[in-house]
């Protein structure tokens, strides 16, 4: 079945770049997403990438997609303490389930 995997924890210093990685299994995924969840809140869509793209940049965020390896990454430049949160990647499985499949989330801790 579908599976989306992420590492559980990442710690960086303020001002450094953060790279959060995700692997997925469904090669037919059309959309892939990154969500951010701040403490005690719901998930907020940060960005998405369509499967015919390799890279997407949006201000401090850069998404890289390697379809051959089914690998997705989110790079946050100049990481700030306000970026501390849980980050979820998700793939849209338009075939079997017609739903988003979420990873387990990566907790990003930004040290001042």
Partner 1 sequence: DVKVTQSSRYLVKRTGEKVFLECVQDMDHENMFWYRQDPGLGLRLIYFSYDVKMKEKGDIPEGYSVSREKKERFSLILESASTNQTSMYLCASSGVGGGRGNGYTFGSGTRLTVV
Q: Which residues bind partner 1 (CB under 8 A)?
A: 8, 31, 33, 35, 40-45, 48, 50, 88, 90, 92-94, 98-100, 102-105
In the complex with partner 1, which residue's Cβ is closer, 8 or 112?
A: 8
Which C-beta is closer to partner 1: that of 73 or that of 104? 104
CB of 19 to partner 1, least distance (A): 20
Backbone angles phi, psi at 108, to 5 degrees: -100, 120
Shortest distance (Å) from residue 77 CB to partner 1: 23
Residue in 87, 68, 96, 83 with CA at minimum distance from that of residue 2:
96
Output 71 or 99, the one with its CB closest to partner 1: 99
Q: How far is the CB of 101 from partner 1 (least distance, A)?
A: 9
Apex 38 CA angle, 46 and 52, nearest 5 = 20
Distance CA 33, CA 80 (A): 21
Nearer to partner 1 by C-beta: 14 or 70? Answer: 70
Q: From the CB of residue 90, how many other CB atoms can be counted at a distance below 10 Å?
A: 23
The three-point CA angle 45-93-100 to 5° equals 35
């Amino acid at each position: 079945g579908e599976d989306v995997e992420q590492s559980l924890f990442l710690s960086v210093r303020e001002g450094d770049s953060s790279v959060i990685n995700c692997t997925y299994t469904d090669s037919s995924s059309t959309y892939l997403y990154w969500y951010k969840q701040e403490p005690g809140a719901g998930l907020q869509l940060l960005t998405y990438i369509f499967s015919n793209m390799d890279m997407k940049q949006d201000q401090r965020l850069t998404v890289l997609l390697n379809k051959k390896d089914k690998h997705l990454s989110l790079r946050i430049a100049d990481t700030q303490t306000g970026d501390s949160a849980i980050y979820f990647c998700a793939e849209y499985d338009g075939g079997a389930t017609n739903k988003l499949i979420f990873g387990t989330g990566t907790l990003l801790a930004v040290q001042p």
